[in-house]
Amino acid sequence: MIPGEARGERWLRWAGLTAFTVYCCWALLMDRGGGPAGEPGAAPPEGRSFSEIRFLALGDVNLGRRVGQVILKGDTLYPFARVADTLRAYDVVFANLESNISDQHGRTEHPRNNMIFTAPPAAAQALKRGGVRVVATANNHALDFGVSARDQTIRYLDSAGVFHCGTPGKGESLYHPALFRANGIRMAFFAVTDLMNGRGVKWNDLVAGADTGGLLPSIRAVRETTDVVVVSYHGGVEYAPKASERTRMFARQVLEGGADIVLGHHPHIPYGIETAGGKVAAHSLGNFVFMQPDRTWTRFSFALSFDIIRDATGTRIRSLRALPLRAGFQPEFLPPGSEAARIRQRIRLLSSQDVQEHMTW
């Protein structure tokens, strides 16, 4: 049992949601209704009351540095070449976009500081070609290369048709969600960060911070017209062996406040999964398109796959599955074997008891 599990059980009672249900794999029940979503999308075929989508959540994606140089040469599929077929099989794929997207005249990192980086303009098309539909732009690199690069990121993503959340566009509120609909199931994505690079940088009006006072009212504003609310949280301690209490507390507050799924980023290594009241917190999805070769767990991680259905009784996450992967310039999903088993074992040991017992491994 991991620390804080008893508190998680109290949280389950406090939430007062629908019962936890186990199907042939791992199932979560969350009864939702509501009206039309704020963005157009595919509706279920006429005469059908049942809808289903497959949703895949990825970790950190850095399309700057060396990957950015390859993209500049014209190979926009390069970072996703080994995973694109898998990603395209999903209705919705979400990732944390760790690099902004801007034109720096051929540069994809700062000449004197490789911790400051950017992806080139064509990176937005790389995301689209790779099958990534929604990205979080709220993270500690959101203002690398300044406010202009932040604004360019929004424009390039919009031009490529990639949904984004975390850095508002012109006329949008700070906690403006990305609204996505597939097969009649409506999703709202929010992204926030607890961190920002650069001393003295005034960023709270430019990037959504991890402030529940601003986030929770925005979640409540879309809750009745949305089936699934997803929050990306960028925070915690890089390379720490497990999620901090601050990270876990923020996830609990957000899920209690109306979100259904919290996806953690920034530590660059994979953490466990907790559930309560039919809701999911994955405290860190680690790296995806990100090369950090010096540590084992920055090179191996997982993607989190959800099967979500909607029928006459409401919307529920029917199953949850971890997909082990090797991160790097060109990530790849791992076949069954010792590497995949080692990743699953790590996630299992860091997860809450119900996940250990009922999740499909």
Residue 323's CB is within 10 A of a number of other CB atoms, namely 19
Among 3.40.50.620, 3.60.21.10, 3.40.1160.10, 3.30.465.10, what is the CATH number of 5-358? 3.60.21.10
Give all strands (DSSP E) within 290-347, no chain letters: 300-311, 314-326, 332-333
Q: What is the DSSP letter of 43?
A: P
The whole-number average pLDDT for the span 344-353 is 95
Checking DSSP bridges between strand 228-234 and strand 185-193, what pairing results, if any?
parallel
Say how far apart CA 358 and CA 28 lie, in whole Å: 11
> What does the radius of gyration of the chain's CA atoms come to, in whole angstroms?
19
Residue that has been written with the tokens 């599929």 in this structure? 77
> What average pLDDT does the structure give for the chain?
88
Q: Tens digits of per-residue pLDDT, 298-341? A: 999 999 999 999 999 889 888 899 999 999 999 999 999 999 99
The dihedral over CA atoms of 64, 59, 193, 126, expressed in degrees to the nearest 10, equals 40
Q: Two tokens at 8?
A: 């998680």
Matching residue, tokens 């099958």: 131
Pick from 263, 207, 199, 254: which is nearest to 235 by CA? Answer: 263
pLDDT digits (tens, 9 = 90+) for 121-164: 999 999 999 999 999 999 999 999 999 999 999 999 999 999 99
CB 104 within 8 A of CB 66: no
Indicate whether 15 pLDDT > 60: no
Tokens of 136: 């979080």
| 316 CA to centre of own chain | 19
In angstroms, what CA-CA distances link 201 with 74, 105, 205, 343? 34, 24, 11, 37
**Contacts (Cβ under 8 Å, ≥6 apart) of 113:** none
> Residue 324 and residue 334: Cα distance in Å, rounded?
6
Q: Is the pLDDT of residue 262 over 60?
A: yes
Q: What is the pLDDT of residues 90-117, one digit of tens each?
A: 999 999 999 999 999 999 999 999 999 9
Share of the chain above pLDDT 70, in %: 86
- pLDDT band at residue 37, thresholds of 50, 70 and 90? very low
Among 1-10, 143-152, 224-233, 274-283, the range scoring the smallest mean pLDDT is 1-10
Q: Quickly count: other Cβ atoms within 10 Å of residue 295's Cβ.
A: 12
pTM for the model:
0.87
What is the spatial distance between Cα 38 and Cα 36, in angstroms, rounded to a whole number? 7
Residue 213 burial (C-beta neighbours within 10 Å; 0-12, 13-18, 19+) = exposed
pLDDT band at 278 (very low <50, low <70, confident <90, very high): confident
10, burial (CB in 10 Å: exposed 0-12, middle 13-18, buried 19+) = exposed
Position 276 scores a pLDDT of 83
Determine which helix (DSSP H) or strand (DSSP E) holds 231, and give its type and residue range: strand 228-234
End-to-end CA distance of the chain: 18
Contact indicator for 142, 118 with CB cutoff of 8 Å: no
Q: What is the pLDDT of residue 39?
A: 40
Domain layout of the chain by residue ranges: 5-358
Q: Is 278 left (phi over 0), alpha (psi -120 to 50) or beta?
A: left
- Whether residue 201 has pLDDT greater than 90: no
